[in-house]
Structure 1
Amino acid sequence: MNMISHLWVFILSLITCTGPVSAQPQINITATVGSSAVLPCDWRNVTKIQSSSQSPHVRWRIISETVFERQGEKLYQGEGYEGRVDVPEDQLLKGNCSLVLNNVSAEDAGVYESYLVVKRSKRALAPKRVFLHRVELSVDAPETPNNESSDSGSHTGVIITVFVIVALVLILLSLGLLWKFKAGTYFANEARGNYAPTSVSHLDSPPQSD
């Protein structure tokens, strides 16, 4: 019985430490590689838990890794997130614990969870971690630059140029063949005229005597 009692005490302590599971639905955010993303968070719905004498202590995690943590001016940035994540202190004091993630990479995709860490009134008790939000970040590939459209435009221009050149060549060939045909006909007519008998006009005939 003693072992079972200790086990129940351990389970209850874990539940108390992690805080109640929020009924809020999961938030889905989509960002593009290289852009910035804001993972929404608000701790004002747990103001009764947060002591007015404490500076808000927020923690963002992904799986079992801490991504970001801030309490007042003290902050922690997880490995791989250095210089890219922040919860501005002035916004945190107002209740906005949204995580700003800059220069998003494909590896940043995943489910992020935010917590408010609240100290107990008794020193013997560990701080209580209150669940706030769950945000799933999806990362899309960067948009195709306009070079593709410009390339297609240049290809279209090349095709049109080739078409115009081919049309001009065909026109020139047609004109050449036409000129050759007319020239051949002219010279053929000239040749036939040289060998034809010459006709004598009556005006060239001597006058007839009566």
Structure 2
Amino acid sequence: MNTLLWALVLWFSTCTGPLSAQSRIFMSVGEGSSAVLPCDWRNKSINPSNQSLYIEWRTFSETVFERLGEEHYEGEGYEGRVDVPEDKLKKGNCSLVLKEVKAEDAGVYESYLLVNRVKRALSSKRVFIQSVELSVFESSEMILEKVPAAQQNISLRRAAPRQVFNIRRLASRNAGIIIVPSNIITSTILSNILLYIN
């Protein structure tokens, strides 16, 4: 019985990956923005040779993204928002690009590479690459960005909720980041900027 228990513990730890956070990266992004969850398989003892690379990104409860060559899978709720570009993956960069981040995207993400155990073998092993803990905060930044000088237009963007305000004839000295605590103050600041310009 004791041997069976140890065998199950060993099997479980092999299948689920590392139980510690020794290589975990912590990152925080604003809601509505994009995040790049870092991953690089070159620092692992992996020799992918000429085979197609199979990358998997997952949370504790679900698969977020998988890629094998040109084929890929996007998990439920992540459709159209996640990718590991194939060209970068071949060069060792297995970072997950997560667009339009939502509050429910917060959590721990882990990446794994599936590689053949021996040449021409049907069996493969799952190699843990990276763990990233993502926290999501309510975005309260509005970025004042100047567009080409010929147009003399300024765009004020807010990531979440998505808002775009176009302002004309604003001096370049006004460019920068405006941090606001709420939508009410956002409206007040915009009104004051518009009044100041006119």
Range of TM-score over shorter length: 0.5 to 0.7
Corresponding position: 1:149 with 2:189: yes
For the residues of structure 2 that align with 1:134 and 1:88, how far apart are their CA atoms? 19
For the residues of structure 1 that align with 2:58 and 2:94, how far apart are their CA atoms? 13
Equivalent in the alignment of 2:10: 12
- Within the candidate set 66, 71, 84, 1:69 is matched to 66
CA contact (8 A) 1:24 1:133 kept: no
Identity %: 57
Structure with higher strand content: 2
Return the offset for 1:6. 3.8
RMSD of equivalent CA atoms? 2.7
| Aligned residue-pair number | 151
Give the secondary-structure state (helix, strand or coil) at the position aligned to 1:139.
strand
- Within the candidate set 120, 126, 129, 2:126 is matched to 129
Structure 2, gaps ≥5 residues long:
143-185
Give the secondary-structure state (helix, strand or coil) at the position aligned to 1:54.
coil
For residues 75 and 22 of structure 1, do their structure 2 counterparts lie closer, same or farther at Cα, with a shift above 3 Å needed? farther
Using the size of structure 1 for normalisation, the TM-score is 0.62
For residues 52 and 22 of structure 1, do their structure 2 counterparts lie closer, same or farther at Cα, with a shift above 3 Å needed? farther
Query: Mapping of 1:88-107 within 5 angstroms?
Result: 88-107=85-104
Equivalent in the alignment of 2:40: 42
For the residues of structure 2 that align with 1:84 and 1:137, how far apart are their CA atoms? 15
For the residues of structure 1 that align with 2:4 and 2:95, how far apart are their CA atoms? 38
Query: Mapping of 1:68-87 within 5 angstroms?
Result: 68-87=65-84
Equivalent in the alignment of 2:31: 33
For the residues of structure 2 that align with 1:110 and 1:20, how far apart are their CA atoms? 16
Using the size of structure 2 for normalisation, the TM-score is 0.65
Give the secondary-structure state (helix, strand or coil) at the position aligned to 1:63.
coil
Return the offset for 1:68. 0.5
For residues 116 and 140 of structure 1, do their structure 2 counterparts lie closer, same or farther at Cα, with a shift above 3 Å needed? same
For residues 16 and 62 of structure 1, do their structure 2 counterparts lie closer, same or farther at Cα, with a shift above 3 Å needed? closer
